[in-house]
Amino acid sequence: MKKFLLLGLCAAALTACQPTNTSTEKSEKQGSSVITAYQLNKDNPMEYAVAGQTDDDHLYLEEVLGEQALAKVKGWNERSEPLMQSDVYKAMKKELLEVYNSPEKIPYVSYRAGKAYNFWQDDKHVKGIWRRTSLDSYRTDAPVWETILDIDALAKAEDKNWVYKGTSCLAPDYNLCMVSLSDGGKDAIERREFNVAEQAFVDGGFFLPESKGGTAWIDEDNLLIGVDFGKNTMTDSGYPFIAKLWTRGTPLTAARELMRGEKTDVGVWPGTFENADGKDEIMIVRAVTFYTSEYFWVPQNGDKAFVPVKLPVPLKSNLGSQFKGQQLVTLQEDWPQANGKTFKSGTLVSFSIADFMASGKIDVVNEVISPNARQSIGGFGATKNALLLSLYENVSGSAYAFDFKDGQWTKTKLDFPANGNVSIGGTNSKEDIAFVNTESFLTPDTLWTFDTKTMQSEKAKSLPSWFDSSSMAAEQFFTASSDGTKIPYYVVRDKNMKLDGTNPTLLYGYGGFQISLNPSYSATIGRAWLARGGVYVVANIRGGGEFGPDWHQAGLKAKRQIIFDDFIAVAEDLIAKKITSPKHLGIHGRSNGGLLMGVMFTQRPDLFGAIAIGVPLLDMRRFDKLLAGASWVGEYGDPDDDNADGAYIRALSPYHNIRSGVKYPESYIYTSTKDDRVHPAHARKFAQRLEDMGIPFVYYENIDGGHAGAANLEETAHSQALIYSHFAGKLSGG
């Protein structure tokens, strides 16, 4: 779930039940306004007796491929599918396939040794092709591409549903690569050595069977690996906790251990960094929890035992790239210094990696940038001549170039379109050329090449306007949450829309894992929803990273109700402004956002006319026992603990808070059988509980696709058309 935001869903044409308030209402004064609070389950949670135990007759649904479980899923799918085949669904799918298969999509690239590499999918390349071209050719309207690897042909030859998951290639020529392939879109991948020059897998080369984990090149004969090495080598979260060095020509069993963590860790990942001489050094990350990590430099001592040296950086910090010998570190907590100075959480700092390697200490820390309370760092990347960084203020982005001279960092603001999203794309520390992407809700993506030597940008590619936005507006509003904090949200709508409460409105939220929802152009939302008269709203609630680590940490564990209060406040403000009304307001969220949807379903069913719950977490009493769930205890708390965190998350659990006698909005629940990150049992068990209680719902479980929910563009168009046709039917009667 770390740093993943995903989309995908399904739809139905059942008659919506208008929710009625069956609880005892309570009103509380907030300033001059009166807010009616439903939140039945917030104030009166379901009883829970024994930590970690439930009398659950739905546990069979946790057997991913269990015969009984799949029979139940098949029945739900079959019952739901005929309801999805409306004319609206068919029209939407056709329109979206046109977008997804269009040759006018931007081919985003990584730039290596003078070549631009891209992975491409369309109607002729369903699974996709990995290809490359020259930079000059890429800048033309019709680049000449050389296919390196055809995933469709590979899948056909091997009779496997391969999904391409990227490459890790050896600098400086990037000829030897480890290609990652997933069976049906799972997070667990198979890794094979590939020779780009020969456009073939290396006979007898490095090969790692299906596993979660990672690899990194040291040189052409040595590979760093962190994978499933067999019994007792994986953490409770399902990731490796041992890192090894594997030498070409030796069996995997002979790989030398570099270091190991603990079974209770999230995982251990090996990687590299460059020393002052340009040689790759070994760096290993031990993720103790989801938000605390230890970093170790492992000196290469020939045949001697490896002795890792721990970097003296805060546990809550993230190591980034290097620039001019400076190792970059993003702080997620304050870092006091010996000289009395304290670098605040959210600050980007740096230190000399050479000095650390020489002494094992960090004596001098340099501040790169310290965002204020309304700012956050979006991302950064190093090139030969500049460090490029995106900075967001009130959720709107801009880009800067930084340089390090005479022990000081300097910055220059770059001239890119304002009031939208500016993201740093492909950067390479060995190249001058970088890629920067700009977009907004109503302005299509533009990809720029930026020469960090001349500090000049050039428009490389841009998307066409996939929907007519000339009559539309994107506005930012702020509303007070339950504690008075101002919560920003964006409304995208027709300029001439009447404020009469009848507008079909779709509110999207996530609220977790420090993931920001910045302005972005979506041909899918534009065509399927906005062009049909819908209103689209994005809520920048706490739990995200829109205003840095503090914005995220305000909603951790037992403090999580504030995230839900933020979302409720946005919904209530939309209604107060008469942009919409409960009958016409739908909400959508995926993964952690699926948990948000589940809580809205149980806490505020009166506020919404339809809910889409995607690849969700819903059984919060057992989430840590399912697949990667143990890794998220740092976000949610341990449900087996008797402390406040454990008591809160147990009481919150949407699966355990569905009640009889309450009118719920009809939910559309979707997941993927091959989701090996968030267990499909969350969605299955929630659906079963609804069925037990006679509460209408629609359910769709795609076999392939993993946590993304779709393995190819056809499946993506299908899932997205189901989402928006569901909302069209429920919120507008269309």
List active site positions.
591, 707
Rounded to 5°, the CA angle 412-414-417 comes to 155
Rounded to 5°, the CA angle 36-657-669 comes to 95
Secondary structure, 3-state, 587-620: EEEECHHHHHHHHHHHHCHHHCCEEEEECCCCCC
Q: Are 376 and 366 in contact (CB under 8 A)?
A: no
Q: Are 612 and 593 in contact (CB under 8 A)?
A: no
- Cα distances (Å, whole numbers) of residue 35 to 19, 28, 44, 582, 600: 18, 6, 19, 15, 17
Burial class for 251, CB neighbours closer than 10 Å (0-12, 13-18, 19+) = exposed
Q: In degrees rounded to 5, what are phi and psi of residue 701?
A: -120, 110
DSSP state for residue 48 in the 8-state scheme? -
Q: Which amino acid is at 708?
A: A
**What sign does the dihedral 235-237-238-240 (CA atoms) show?**
negative
The tokens describing 302, both together, are: 């020939």
Q: Are 369 and 356 in contact (CB under 8 A)?
A: no
The span from the CA of 445 to the CA of 467, in Å, is 13
The tokens describing 266, both together, are: 């999230």
The span from the CA of 515 to the CA of 508, in Å, is 14
Q: Are 585 and 598 in contact (CB under 8 A)?
A: no
The span from the CA of 567 to the CA of 485, in Å, is 12
Residue among 356, 362, 353 at smallest CA distance from 324? 353
